[in-house]
Amino acid sequence: MAITTCIFDAYGTLFDVAAAARNAAAEPGREGFRDHWPAIAEHWRLKQLQYTWLRAITGHHTDFWQVTQDGLDWALEAEGLGGDADLRERLLQLYWELEAYPEVPAMLRALKEAGKTTAILSNGSPDMLDGAVQSAGIGDLLDDVLSVESVGIFKPAHVVYDLVGNRFGCAKSEVLFVSSNGWDAAAAAGYGFRTAWVNRAGQPMDRLPATPDTTLNDLTGIPEIAA
């Protein structure tokens, strides 16, 4: 069955999650942060994801903004910067203004010109996702933005992937699901979507029951896969 619907994870897939720490480090007066920002960005993202999994397993759901703050607090403390309230506030502010990866607008435009439905399916809360989409200027290239907040549990719970069919009325085999998270792409493959893993960091494949159909270095090749 032909692909009609292209669904994208947001953070790390369309939006560069390291941009907040990287941009803060480049600001005047934050020279002391320049040696810390790579570790902060890495730890922040890892703890953010870990907290979503743990909350899903234990049934203690909260929105993505809370786990984003919790992950940052852990990362700052790990780097000995836990007492820097100004830095914390600035990093959180910048997270609402994340940059899209350079190839994103052209890739989405090519999909729309080919008649494909395009949407985000994300752990992000609606207001966070709206801020990122507007900041990146890609709102007119998306048919919808779907958040896990409508079901109250984070990915990779199957009920999250159900949102796609419920919204667009498409069969699983019509969906190309794209994520930079190997575990997310694998879970979506096991669910029945056709999947592409955007492995920007060259990481090993996760050892999970299913594996993504395609692995890419960036999003440039998505229109060709979806054709």
Question: Which sequence positions are flagged as catalytic?
Answer: 9
Structure tokens given for 107: 């890739």
Spacing of C-alpha 36 from chain mean position: 23
144/34 Cα distance (integer angstroms): 37
Structure tokens at 66: 């809370």
CB 106 within 8 A of CB 219: no
Contact 63, 149 (CB under 8 A): yes
The Cα 72–Cα 118 span in angstroms is: 30
Give the C-alpha distances (Å, rounded to integers) separating 212 from 27, 32, 181, 189.
39, 40, 10, 6
State the alpha helices, DSSP H only, in 83-125.
85-95, 104-113
